[in-house]
């Protein structure tokens, strides 16, 4: 099937049923263990995502096509990308099981209803980052290159390059030496 025909079919599907592609195809069929892992990035590109030569495990949920994943990046099982705003993940990153990328939240409101006006901010993850299992990356997080985020950490704001962060909220634990190449 030619590229132009595929694009036309995709645009018709998005118009007829906007949630069809995301919920039925991408987050159910393609995300299942039965779908060949090497083919996932190709289908994601057809949906409009900017993904390099990466590895996406089963049971990963994507909220929209507003995502960019660099070459050599690995995304483990049960991650969630709430993409109300854009999520950019650099090259050669390792994303642990169950990591949440949350791009939207609410302003703090009065006591009648604490969740006020919604807002969204993009998340940027640099190259060579390792994010441990069950970490939560909040709206507006900017994670520098070569960072290690400990399992279960909650990240918001700017995270400087080549360092280990852990805790709730994530705090600097240790600066790391800058090395290039393998161990």
Distance CA 109, CA 97 (A): 33
Catalytic residue among 6, 8, 106, 175: 106
Identify the pLDDT of residue 3.
Answer: 74
Nearest Cα residue to 14 out of 62, 59, 64: 64
Nearest Cα residue to 99 out of 68, 36, 66, 56: 56
Identify the pLDDT of residue 1.
Answer: 58
Identify the pLDDT of residue 23.
Answer: 79
21 belongs to the catalytic site:
no
Identify the pLDDT of residue 105.
Answer: 92
Distance CA 22, CA 65 (A): 9
Edge-to-edge, what's the strand order for the sheet holding 67-69?
50-51, 67-69, 87-89, 123-125, 142-143, 158-159
Identify the pLDDT of residue 179.
Answer: 78
**What CATH number was assigned to the domain covering residues 52-175?**
2.160.10.10
Decide: 169 and 138 in contact? Cβ < 8 Å: no
pLDDT in tens, 102-112: 999 999 999 99
- The three-state DSSP-derived secondary structure of 102-143 is ECEEEEECCCCCCEEEEEECCEEECCCCEECCCCEECCCCEE
Q: What is the token pair recorded at 35?
A: 């779908």
Query: Which residues does the chain have with pLDDT short of 50?
Result: none
Would you list the domain boundaries of the chain? 52-175
Identify the pLDDT of residue 31.
Answer: 85
Stated as kind and residue range, the H or E segment containing 100 is strand 100-102
């Amino acid at each position: 099937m030619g590229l132009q025909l595929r694009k036309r079919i995709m645009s018709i599907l998005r118009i007829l049923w906007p949630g069809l592609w995301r919920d039925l195809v991408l987050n159910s069929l393609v995300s299942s263990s039965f779908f060949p892992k090497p083919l996932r990035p190709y289908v994601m590109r057809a949906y409009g995502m900017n993904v390099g030569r990466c590895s996406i495990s089963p049971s990963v949920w994507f909220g929209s096509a507003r995502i960019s994943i660099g070459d050599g990046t690995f995304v483990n099982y049960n991650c969630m990308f709430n993409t109300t705003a854009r999520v950019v993940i650099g090259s050669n990153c390792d994303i642990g099981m169950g990591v949440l990328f949350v791009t939207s939240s609410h302003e703090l409101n009065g006591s009648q209803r604490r969740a006020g006006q919604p807002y969204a901010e993009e998340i940027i993850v640099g190259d060579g980052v390792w994010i441990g299992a069950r970490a939560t990356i909040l709206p507006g997080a900017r994670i520098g290159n070569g960072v290690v985020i400990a399992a279960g950490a909650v990240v918001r704001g700017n995270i400087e390059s080549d360092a280990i962060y852990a805790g709730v909220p994530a705090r600097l634990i240790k600066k790391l030496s800058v090395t290039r190449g393998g161990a």
